[in-house]
Every structure is written in C-alpha cells, then in structure tokens.
C-alpha cells in the first residue's frame, strides 16, 4: 500500500507518488505557460460573430403593479368566506400593529390578533392586538360565555 508523499492519503494506484489533489496543487498544468500571439489570434477569430453569454442581457426591474392583484381584483379573493387562518393573515397585513398589548398595556413585540365579537368578518375594527397571555384569557372568557348561552 502506498501513500501520498505530500499529505499522507492512501493512493488508489501504487505508481503515483502524489494524490490527485496534491498533484494539481503542486504541479498545475498551465503554471508558467502563456498562449502565444498566434494562438490568441486563432481564438479571437473563432469567436468572431458569436454572442457572448453575457452580452446583450440586461435585467430590468419591472413595474409589478399591473400584474400583482390584491383584494377584490384577485381572482382567488374569497371575501367574507375566508378561513380562520386566512382572515388572521389578512388582519395582520391590514391592521396597524401596536407596540403595546391593548388589554394589559405591556410593551412587547410578540402580539397576536384577537377577535372582539366572535363573528369572523373581514373588519379590522373587530380585531385587536393582544399579548399571548391576554389572548388566551380572552379566549377562555369567550368559551365560558358561549357555554353559558348554549347550555344556559
């Protein structure tokens, strides 16, 4: 079994003294070699009339207002027939976020959207920003209220 003289890796064939990576590092084929003027001319002539892969390509920032359709203009708009998750996402995008919980007035950046009436309509005024604790307490109160009305 033979090993590379430079790094000590196991060699696949015993006839080599260096592994492939060390051979490329220590003995690069093009090191010190330059194209002759004649070769440069031949390469130039062979490229004449051919487009470079980067020539003529420009990337433009297009105005996206024409084809990004939001709200009623979108063909997938569901109106008030939206899911719970979709409605909360819409409220988070359209209701101005507060820095404080609207219930306990504690400043936090982790606020959740909570429904006031229990009717999930697409109305930003029917929602408020609450911290996690207040949102859970509010949910428990809504459940208790609902049970009393139903089983009353």
Segment 20-79, tens digit of pLDDT: 767 666 666 666 778 889 988 888 888 777 666 665 555 555 555 556 677 777 778 888
* Beta pairing partners, 61: none
Residues 1-18 have a mean pLDDT of 73
Q: Where are the domains of the chain?
A: 1-29, 81-151
Q: Could you count the other beta carbons within 10 Å of the beta carbon of residue 101?
A: 22
Cα separation, 144 vs 44, whole angstroms = 83
- From residue 82, give the alpha-carbon distance in Å to each of 76, 112, 144: 11, 19, 25
Residues 85-91 have a mean pLDDT of 89
- From residue 73, give the alpha-carbon distance in Å to each of 29, 70, 88, 95: 62, 6, 20, 20
Residue 76: its pLDDT value, please? 80
Phi-psi category of residue 16: left, alpha or beta, with phi > 0 → left and psi -120 to 50 → alpha: beta
Do 116 and 127 contact (CB within 8 A), yes or no? Answer: yes
Residue 147 pLDDT exceeds 50: yes
| Distant-in-sequence, close-in-space partners of 88: CB < 8 Å, separation ≥ 6 | 113
């Amino acid at each position: 079994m033979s090993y590379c003289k430079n790094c000590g890796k196991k060699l696949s064939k015993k006839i080599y003294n260096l592994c492939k990576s060390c051979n490329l590092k220590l003995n690069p084929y093009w090191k010190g070699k330059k194209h002759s003027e004649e070769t440069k001319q031949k390469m130039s002539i062979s490229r004449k009339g051919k487009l470079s892969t980067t020539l003529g390509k420009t990337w433009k920032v297009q105005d996206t207002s024409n084809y990004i359709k939001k709200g009623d203009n979108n063909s997938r708009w569901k109106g008030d027939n939206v899911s719970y998750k979709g409605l909360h996402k819409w409220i988070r995008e359209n209701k101005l976020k507060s820095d404080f919980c609207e219930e306990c007035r504690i400043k936090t950046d982790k606020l959740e959207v909570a429904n006031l009436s229990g009717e999930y309509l697409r109305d930003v005024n029917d929602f408020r920003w609450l911290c996690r604790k207040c949102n859970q307490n509010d949910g428990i109160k809504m459940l208790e209220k609902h049970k009393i009305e139903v089983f009353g």
